[in-house]
């Protein structure tokens, strides 16, 4: 193998790490929200963190799709996994894009 290939950052590692980190944060968020559901004001943290998780879905999915595309272009290993990640992240981005835009518009229309 050429020396430059080993030193170059592999895109598939970043793509899987980014999506995996986002999903792990979602699981931790769900556990924390389930633990606080006994509180009187349990709805407010759920709305805040749910909205935050929803708003981060689109940038994470788009970044994963770009990294998966770059990995496919470079002909890095794990091509089938990258194709799957590209399809999944594109579906996540399409699913949450309209809701994120609606959320941002509603947030901008509220009076502080």
- 77 SS3 class: coil
Tens of pLDDT, residue by residue over 26-51, are 898 888 877 777 766 667 777 788 87
In angstroms, the CA 42 to CA 109 distance is: 24
What does the longest C-alpha to C-alpha distance in the chain come to?
61
Domain that holds residue 89: 3-109
Tens of pLDDT, residue by residue over 47-98, are 788 878 888 888 999 999 999 998 889 888 888 988 999 999 989 888 888 8
Q: Residue 84: what pLDDT?
A: 92
- Render the burial of 3-21: b for 16+ CB within 10 Å, e for the rest: eeeeeeebbbebbbebbee
Q: Residue 3: what pLDDT?
A: 53
Give residue 24's pLDDT band: very low, low, confident or very high (50, 70, 90): very high
In angstroms, the CA 60 to CA 22 distance is: 7
Query: What is the pTM (predicted TM-score) of this model?
Result: 0.72
Q: Residue 63: what pLDDT?
A: 92
CA dihedral of residues 24, 30, 36, 40 (deg, nearest 10): 140
Number of domains in the chain: 1
- Render the burial of 43-82: b for 16+ CB within 10 Å, e for the rest: eeebeebbbebeeebbebbebbbebbbbbbeeebeeeeeb
């Amino acid at each position: 193998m050429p020396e430059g290939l080993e030193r170059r950052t592999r895109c598939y590692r970043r793509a899987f790490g980014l999506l995996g980190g986002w999903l792990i944060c979602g699981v931790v968020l769900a556990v924390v929200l389930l633990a606080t559901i006994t509180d009187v004001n349990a709805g407010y943290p759920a709305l805040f963190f749910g909205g935050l998780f929803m708003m981060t879905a689109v940038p994470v999915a788009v970044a994963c799709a770009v990294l998966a595309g770059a990995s496919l272009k470079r002909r890095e290993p794990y091509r089938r996994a990258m194709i799957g990640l590209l399809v999944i992240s594109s579906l996540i981005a399409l699913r949450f894009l309209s809701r994120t835009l609606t959320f941002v518009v509603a947030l901008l229309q509220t009076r502080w």
